[in-house]
Amino acid sequence: MISKTYCPIPFNHLYIKPSNQASVCCAFQPEHKELELSLHHIKEYKNLSDHLRHPFIKDIQQKMLAGKQVKGCKVCYYFEEHGGKGESMREGFISTWHEGANEAYQLSPPDLDNPKLEFLEVTFGNYCNLACRTCNSDLSHSWLKDEKELKQRGIYPTSSATKRIDIEREFQEDDLKDLQYVKITGGEPMLHPDFSKFIERLNHSQVVVEIYTNASWVPKKKLLNMLLKFKFCNIYVSIDGTGTVQEYMRHNSNWDITEKSVRKWLEMMKIHDNVRIDWAPTWSLMNGNYYIEICNWWLKTINEILNNKSYKCCVVTRNFLLYPEHYRMNLLPNQNELKQKAEKYIMKLKNSSYSGVENIIEMTEEYIKFFEVEPKNEIIPKNAYYKTTQVLDEIRNQSLKEMMPLTYEAMYNE
């Protein structure tokens, strides 16, 4: 029987951070950082599956089986307490691995008595061609110069990277032999020179691959053919806005190219049954005022390209940003107005003929719910937001007022 704190991840999964350190998962936040640092640099593992027998991981496994909370899993606990109808990552993993939520994946539940590495989450370092506002140099080397300038002006970044970092392991057949599921994130993983080499080493017919992309480039035929070899390929496009909103939030992006990229991925999905394209927006103080506009763009695009197949790709991963705290959406002063607009939007969606509205309705309910969580202290994060925005606008030659006028009006006219 699954306990109320159980998650399959510590029993079959390894997350390789951009720093090359092994970790529990991408959302794990230990209360005492030195405890997680006891985990190895991936070069130190003889076999990557040794991670599941590390004392730190074994302790987590035992606590979960006993129904005890794990302090580092607070992001999922927080979402389960304050979120809407959607699933936390923990609940999503249970659905995926134990309940067969996605029939195309056909994954076997983890063996709790004899854990094997069946799920690998990997980046290829902190290489990324963009420097998104809500990111940092741990995940994007394009942030390094800006972080140096921020520090000189008294704004200290939360990241620890000081240079571009690449993966430091030559993956062996024994590392990958039990894999059923591979999740590849970034940075921007598909632009990294190690991406193709890693992909070729996987057992394609056995593996479901999940890849996150910033859609800042248009995929070529060679890459698309490579991905079609997999048992199933799920591409998540991380789009947080349209036009100048996307270009401001995801610095160095070009909206025209981004839109062409999304359309190319969707056209691939239209033809091939083992491919699905999902939308993975991150909602924050930055784009909360543009919520309806962005959702409408997505609905219009998938229905235009996919026609009656649009139901296949209307999955939307809901990420309401918690860190850094100065970008949390519930700091917006006009949140009551936004909630009212969102409630009217739900009614409009219910009368829409578009495919995919059900997922947008669920996300919109979570959007409203997120505003109901009062921030513990508004002054400190808001001051951090104003100062960071001012400095980044100067060094990036951008203007919040011109590129994101709704956000500017909300934050500066209160």
Residue 34 has pLDDT above 60, yes or no: no
| pLDDT at residue number 314 | 60
Domain count, the chain: 2
Residue 344 lies in a domain: yes
| Res. 316 pLDDT band, cuts 50 70 90 | confident
CA distance 8 to 111: 9
With tokens 């989450």, the residue in question is 121
| Res. 26 pLDDT band, cuts 50 70 90 | confident
| pLDDT tens, position by position, 191-205 | 988 898 899 999 999
Question: Do 20 and 61 share a domain, yes or no?
Answer: yes
Residue 226 has pLDDT above 90, yes or no: yes
Question: Do 266 and 401 share a domain, yes or no?
Answer: yes
Residue 313 has pLDDT above 70, yes or no: no
As a whole number, mean pLDDT of residues 396-406 equals 97
Residue 81 lies in a domain: yes
The CA-based angle 370-253-208, given to 5 degrees, is 70
| Res. 280 pLDDT band, cuts 50 70 90 | very high
| pLDDT at residue number 143 | 93
| End-of-domain residue from the set 89, 121, 153 | 121
Using CA of residue 120, residue 214, residue 327, residue 82, what is the dihedral sign? Answer: negative
Question: Do 59 and 191 share a domain, yes or no?
Answer: no
CA distance 131 to 264: 23
CB 371 within 8 A of CB 338: yes
Q: What is the percent of the chain where pLDDT is above 70?
A: 94
Outline where DSSP puts E strands in 300-390.
319-320
CA distance 132 to 404: 15
Question: Do 139 and 23 share a domain, yes or no?
Answer: no
| Res. 372 pLDDT band, cuts 50 70 90 | confident
Q: What is the percent of the chain where pLDDT is above 90?
A: 60
| pLDDT tens, position by position, 328-337 | 999 999 999 9
Question: Do 262 and 169 share a domain, yes or no?
Answer: yes
| End-of-domain residue from the set 121, 152, 171 | 121
Question: Do 176 and 252 share a domain, yes or no?
Answer: yes
Question: Do 237 and 354 share a domain, yes or no?
Answer: yes
From 119-123, 219-223, 321-325, the region with the lowest mean pLDDT: 321-325
As a whole number, mean pLDDT of residues 103-131 equals 90
| pLDDT at residue number 13 | 95
| pLDDT at residue number 278 | 93
Instruction: For residue 5, report the phi and psi dihedrals to the nearest 5 degrees.
Output: -115, 0
Residue 295 lies in a domain: yes
CATH of the domain at 284: 3.20.20
- Burial label, 346 (beta-carbon count in 10 A; 0-12, 13-18, 19+): middle
What is the residue-averaged pLDDT of the chain? 89
Question: Do 107 and 237 share a domain, yes or no?
Answer: no
| pLDDT at residue number 329 | 93
Q: Cα 45 to chain center, whole Å?
A: 26
Residue 101 has pLDDT above 70, yes or no: no
As a whole number, mean pLDDT of residues 186-190 equals 88
Residue 290 has pLDDT above 60, yes or no: yes
Residue 145 lies in a domain: yes
From 33-47, 205-219, 293-307, 381-395, the region with the lowest mean pLDDT: 33-47
Question: Do 224 and 170 share a domain, yes or no?
Answer: yes
Question: Do 72 and 193 share a domain, yes or no?
Answer: no
Residue 130 lies in a domain: yes
Question: Do 173 and 29 share a domain, yes or no?
Answer: no
Question: Do 263 and 379 share a domain, yes or no?
Answer: yes
Residue 2 lies in a domain: no
Residue 182 has pLDDT above 80, yes or no: yes
Q: Which domain holds residue 262?
A: 123-412
CA distance 90 to 337: 32
The helix/strand/coil state of 377 is: coil
Q: What would the DSSP string read from start to end of 161-176?
A: --S---------HHHH
| pLDDT tens, position by position, 228-240 | 999 999 999 999 9
Residue 4 lies in a domain: no
| End-of-domain residue from the set 74, 92, 121 | 121
Residue 1 lies in a domain: no
